[in-house]
Amino acid sequence: MKLDMFDFHLPEELIAQVPLEDREASRLMVLDKETGKIEHDVFSHITEYIKPGDCLVLNDTRVLPARLYGSKEGTGAKIEVLLLKQEHDDVWETLVKPAKRIKEGSTIFFGDGKLSAVCTGVLEHGGRILEFRYEGIFYEILDKLGEMPLPPYIKEQLDDQDRYQTVYARERGSAAAPTAGLHFTEHLLEKLKGMGVHIAFITLHVGLGTFRPVSVDDIDSHEMHSEFYQMTEGTARLLNEVKEKGGKIITVGTTSTRTLETIASGNAGVFKEASGWTSIFIYPGYEFKGIDAMITNFHLPKSTLIMLISALAGREHVLHAYETAVEEKYRFFSFGDAMLIK
């Protein structure tokens, strides 16, 4: 399949720069994946589309304040560091700018020396392996010195960094938020539970590969980034019970979807306790084995995310829905509106 098949025109003013004050107040487009029928609603009414016995699957990853600003020892050159992945202990894979200034053996200081890092390895495309040194607890220092790594298409700074976290975020490790979950409030989740809807959690730590553009013309040749996921035995058991009783598995976001499909694909459609790294690439032609429906945001043209939802709802249905979203001035991307594909 060709990359251009997933392109659409998106006016820049529709890219949401700030989140709405009320998480539930986002607009909701409901897309029937079989017929392509579209309904327009508000997110607080999501309760009308989910039935008792269904299960919502949420990604409980927590975004690290992973962007650090420091200076190089000796020269004082300003250096920006983005934490990508913890290799082990205090050793991290990072993205450094300007990378040419940081060679093996270079030291970077952050926050008047409260935190320092020594470069122990040089990778491609600005990647560096850094070993951090500090006194105290690393994550507490990071909370004080780090900034949220907002996506490149968001130009505004957040007044409240928690608005780039879901209300149920708890497992530290993401470089980006699972943004479909930003629409939920604790009140809304309690309301769903009170209706008899099951709530299940998985963890997938979102990597920056989420924002990396597809650079090949033939998408069959695209290689996905690898991300760490985890499903507990309790979540696996709940999901299998829901399926056996005829309930729907509704994932919140592409990250939850990729996790469930990774596990179900490897176990003949059955969920099992599992953890590991997934690089699953879902695009039209893929047969879903774990999920029935999903809640998602509106994604970038030519992205692997729009390919994933096209696999679920059909490319023509999705592109028509996106054309409608542009006409109706829906808000796009991380802080934008939501779509339910059912």
The pLDDT assigned to 223 comes to 87
Residue 276 phi, psi dihedral angles, 5° rounding? 160, -160
Q: Which residues pair with 340 in a beta bridge?
A: 30, 295
- Euclidean distance between CA atoms 325 and 329, whole angstroms: 6
Distant-in-sequence, close-in-space partners of 137: CB < 8 Å, separation ≥ 6: none
Burial class (CB in 10 A: 0-12, 13-18, 19+), 213: exposed
Please enumerate in sequence order all residues whose Cβ is within 8 A of that of 128, keeping only pairs 6 or more positions apart, or say none: 81, 93, 94, 95, 96, 99, 102, 119, 121, 122
pLDDT at position 108 is: 97
- The whole-number mean pLDDT for each consecutive block of 10 residues of the chain, a chain of 342 residues, reads 95 94 96 98 98 98 94 95 90 94 96 93 92 95 90 79 93 92 98 98 86 84 91 98 98 97 95 96 96 97 96 98 98 96 98
Backbone angles phi, psi at 293, to 5 degrees: -155, 165
CB within 8 A of 123, min separation 6: which ones?
A: 93, 129
CA–CA gap between residue 305 and residue 289 (Å, rounded): 18
What gap in Å lies between CA 216 and CA 150, rounded to an integer? 25
Identify the H or E element spanning 139. Answer: helix 138-145
CA atoms within 13 A on the CB side of 170: 5
Chain mean position to CA 65: 15
Element (H, E) at 38: strand 38-42
Tell me what pLDDT residue 211 has: 63
Q: What structural domains does the chain harbor?
A: 3-63+160-341 (3.40.1780.10), 67-147 (2.40.10.240)
Integer Cα distance of 272 and 266 in angstroms? 10
Torsion sign (Cα): 240, 183, 11, 36: positive
Contact between 21 and 330 under an 8 Å Cβ cutoff? The reply is: no
Report the alpha-carbon distance of residue 332 to residue 26 in Å, rounded: 11
Q: What is the pTM of this model?
A: 0.90
